[in-house]
Amino acid sequence: MAASKKKYNFKGLDDIFGESVTDIIDVIENDKTIAKEKSLLISLDLLKPNPYQPRKIFDNEEINQLADSIKIHGIIQPIIINNKNEVVAGERRMRAAKIAGLEEVPVIVLTLSNQQMEEFAIIENIQRVDLTDIEEAIAYKKLSTSLKMKQEEISKRVGKSRSHIANIMRLLNLPKNVQEAMLDKKISMGQAKPLLTILGNEDLLNNIFEQILTKNLTAREVELLIKNKGNVVEKETKKPKSPSIVKSENNIMRRLGTKVSIENNKLSIWYSNDSDLNRILEILGLLNEE
């Protein structure tokens, strides 16, 4: 088979990453020929977590479910480690194997430098695991500082837009206690992001942050608090729309084939792009109207 002839020496960054970290990992873990020829059994006690692992929080329920599967089927995909027995890919499998009571696990050993280990761990996690927003920001920061990558290069490596990366990294401007709350999943990015607008007002920021924690405010409520300098604002109570308004909305939506809203004496019409706008204008007979 062609796959069995390919050598995975991983001596250079180009060999590791190519177009996608995910592709490389998938080949190693899922190709039965490679798993059979390259894997070996090693004592689970010898394995160490990757020191560059960007993930700080692991889903215990998910790991316990994986442990139950391992008890029945064993570890199907080998864990990938370096020559220091540090886990490159498969830390959740390692944790689950310990819970399952395994003494030995199949591994594939790669020779990687510290820099390659760090880059591999960060990018592999970003591409394959749903990091929290703040963990993702920390991962980008590591690529930027430790590995001297610019945002354009990070964008190409992880397959995400430069604007997304810049937006996420802004979270690192928040105070340490806010970042820790995000790491602990006590507050979301939506709740924390408005706080970026008041970084210069520490007292107000701390006041609103405490209210977020105690009242579980929505992002909209946080924005209103900021607008009102931390003073509590009564929640707006929306008056139900009259049946005639709802009927009119539905009739227009069916006619235009898009979402519409009639509220506060305003008619709002949604469109997805210029082509969609032209379609709606044509329906209304306004496309070529001077």
**pLDDT digit string (tens) for 188-222?**
988 999 999 999 899 999 999 999 999 888 888 99
Q: Please indicate, yes or no, if residue 238 is contained in any of the structural domains.
A: no
Domain count, the chain: 4
Q: Please indicate, yes or no, if residue 13 is contained in any of the structural domains.
A: yes
Rounded to an integer, what distance in angstroms lies between the CA atom of residue 165 and that of residue 179? 17
- 107 and 84 inside one domain: yes
Say whether 61 is catalytic. no
Rounded to an integer, what distance in angstroms lies between the CA atom of residue 251 and that of residue 155? 44
Q: Please indicate, yes or no, if residue 198 is contained in any of the structural domains.
A: yes
- 97 and 16 inside one domain: yes
Q: Please indicate, yes or no, if residue 28 is contained in any of the structural domains.
A: yes
Mean pLDDT, the chain, integer: 79
- On the CB side of 103, CA atoms within 13 Å amount to 0
- 260 and 247 inside one domain: yes
State the catalytic residue, choosing from 91, 119, 124, 136. Answer: 91
- 110 and 136 inside one domain: no
Residue 82 sits in a domain of what CATH number? 3.90.1530.30
Q: Please indicate, yes or no, if residue 232 is contained in any of the structural domains.
A: no
- 27 and 80 inside one domain: yes
Per-residue pLDDT of the chain (290 residues; tens, 9 = 90+): 333 333 333 333 344 344 444 455 566 666 666 666 677 899 999 999 888 776 666 777 888 888 999 898 888 788 888 888 998 888 888 999 999 999 999 888 887 777 777 777 777 667 655 678 888 888 888 888 877 888 888 888 777 888 888 988 999 999 999 999 998 889 998 899 999 999 989 999 999 999 999 988 888 899 988 988 766 555 555 678 888 888 888 888 888 878 888 888 888 998 888 888 888 888 887 775 44
- 58 and 93 inside one domain: yes
- 85 and 9 inside one domain: yes
Residue 209, token pair as written in the block: 């942050």
Q: Please indicate, yes or no, if residue 268 is contained in any of the structural domains.
A: yes
Which strands form 104-110's sheet, in the order they lie side by side? 40-43, 104-110, 79-82, 87-89
- 195 and 268 inside one domain: no
Phi, psi torsion values for 262, nearest 5 degrees: -115, 115
| Beta bridge mates, 86 | 48
Residues 6+ apart with CB under 8 A from 202: 175
Query: Do 124 and 155 form a contact (C-beta atoms < 8 A)?
Result: no
Q: Please indicate, yes or no, if residue 74 is contained in any of the structural domains.
A: yes
pLDDT at residue 256, as a whole number = 82
Range of the domain at 213: 186-227
pLDDT at residue 128, as a whole number = 58
Q: Please indicate, yes or no, if residue 235 is contained in any of the structural domains.
A: no
- 57 and 100 inside one domain: yes
- 26 and 41 inside one domain: yes
- 195 and 259 inside one domain: no
**pLDDT digit string (tens) for 132-152?**
888 888 888 888 887 788 888
What is the pTM for the complete model shown? 0.52
- 125 and 52 inside one domain: yes
